[in-house]
A = this chain, B = another copy of it.
Amino acid sequence: MSAPSMKDVAAHAGVAVGTVSNVLNHPELVAERTRKRVQTAIAQLGFVRNESARQLRGGTSRTLAYVVLDTRNPFFTDVAAGAQQVAEEAGLAMYLCDGGENSARQARYLDLLEQQRVEGILITPVDADDSRLAALARRGTPVVVVDRGAGPDRCSVSVDDVLGGDLAASHLLDAGHRRIAFVGGPRSIGQVTDRLTGAEQALTRAGAEPLTVLETTRLDVAEGRRAGERLAGLPASRRPTAAFCANDMLALGLLQQAVRLGLRVPQDLAIVGYDDIEFAAAAAVPLTSVSQPRQLLGRTAAELLLAEARHPEGHVHQQRVFEPELVVRESTSMRRPDGVA
């Protein structure tokens, strides 16, 4: 009653197990007649290869995985789409594992994937703890860190987040803002601290007063709304006139809540996001954002991973760093977006 195996197929077709295997893997070795017979037996029994057995017997898993920071952030699904494309071209499947910004969950996925002997892992880590990845790599599972730089003994694909933070803050300074807030967290996430660092660096350079940091527990819309509430609650005299958010999810939440509570954007509060996700341009007030080459990031990461998986011996780890780009829209520009007035 359990799933039919090759043995059953062989019996049913009156051939040896090896022949069934040959029909599946080297059909050219099998005589026409026999092949047909085996194939109908397979169809009749509803035989399905057991991938575990297959893999055990020396095969490879032909599978990659991308352990994502949070699948609900469109930025990462765009990156994933890029990676998936490359995987597909190489004949590999790619699983997405949602870390949900949860360190323990990510760790569990890593364990599982290693035990499953996937050919390689792409990961955007929640925390800075590199030892787990080091162990993985040491034991033979190639790892590429995505959207975060890595040390010399690992491939990584990232965008210069410090520069991105600098761009964002500089833009706000240029527009005349002096009291600027940074919205983002938790600090354990590398991108958050890098973007913050970049922004601080710009302010220091300009001799402006330091950032007001509104720390969040996650990088999602809900947290953005909470930050909006906190900002709107401040007396206008002390309220920052601009906010730089660690990503667009936060920025969109912040924007939404700020508007709801009566702040005008950008007049009362200018907002800069990060990632330039597709929805940023379509926001209530189209969002100024720091853009990253999402798909390219994914593609490159997958290519590096494949290269390492295919030729582990001579592999030289690369840390690719792309440049972010500021996309200015109405959320920071004083011009009225349209002539409705």
Residues of chain A touching chain B, judged by Cβ–Cβ distance below 8 Å, are 3, 46, 48-56, 63, 65, 71-72, 74, 77-78, 80-81, 84, 88, 93-98, 100, 105, 108-109, 112, 114-117, 135, 138-140, 221, 252-253, 255-256, 259, 264, 278-279, 281-286, 338, 340-341
Residues of B within 8 A of A74 (CB): 72, 74
Task: Pick the residue among B51, B88, B252 that contacts A279 (CB under 8 A).
Answer: B252
- List chain B residues, Cβ under 8 A from A98: 77, 80-81, 84, 94, 96
DSSP majority for the A interface? mixed
Contact assessment for B100 and A81 in the assembled complex, using a CB-CB cutoff below 8 Å:
yes
What's the Cα separation between A95 and B80 when bound, in Å? 13
Alpha-carbon distance between A80 and B108 when the two chains are bound, in angstroms: 18
Q: Which residue of B lies closest to A254 (CB)?
A: B282
> CB within 8 A of A96: which of B88, B95, B283, B338?
B95
Q: What's the number of copies of this chain in the assembled complex?
A: 2
26 contacts between A and B (CB under 8 A): A46-B138, A46-B139, A50-B115, A50-B117, A51-B117, A52-B53, A52-B55, A52-B56, A52-B116, A54-B115, A65-B95, A71-B80, A71-B81, A72-B74, A72-B77, A72-B78, A81-B100, A93-B112, A96-B97, A96-B98, A255-B282, A264-B340, A279-B282, A279-B283, A284-B286, A341-B341
A247 shortest CB reach to chain B, Å = 13
Contact: B46 with A50, CB < 8 Å?
no
Q: How many angstroms between the C-alpha atoms of A49 and B113 in the bound complex?
A: 11
Q: Return chain B residues, CB-CB under 8 Å to A109.
A: 93
- Please tell me which one of the listed residues B51, B52, B100, B283 contacts residue A282 in the complex, with CB atoms under 8 A apart: B283
Contact A71–B96 (Cβ < 8 Å): yes
Chain B residues with CB under 8 A of A50: 56, 115, 117
Smallest CB-CB separation from A55: which chain B residue? B52
Pick the contact of A115 from B48, B284, B340 — CB < 8 Å?
Answer: B48
CB of A51 to closest CB in B, whole Å: 4
List the B side residues contacting A105 at CB < 8 Å.
88
Report the 5 A-B pairs with minimum CB-CB distance, sorted nearest first: A96-B96, A51-B115, A95-B95, A279-B279, A52-B52
Question: Which chain B residue has the least Cβ–Cβ distance from A63?
Answer: B112
Question: Given contacts A51-B115, A51-B117, A284-B285, could you give 18 more A-B pairs where the C-beta distance is less than 8 Å?
Answer: A48-B114, A48-B139, A51-B112, A52-B56, A56-B56, A63-B112, A71-B71, A72-B81, A74-B74, A77-B98, A81-B100, A93-B108, A93-B112, A96-B97, A221-B282, A253-B282, A283-B283, A284-B286
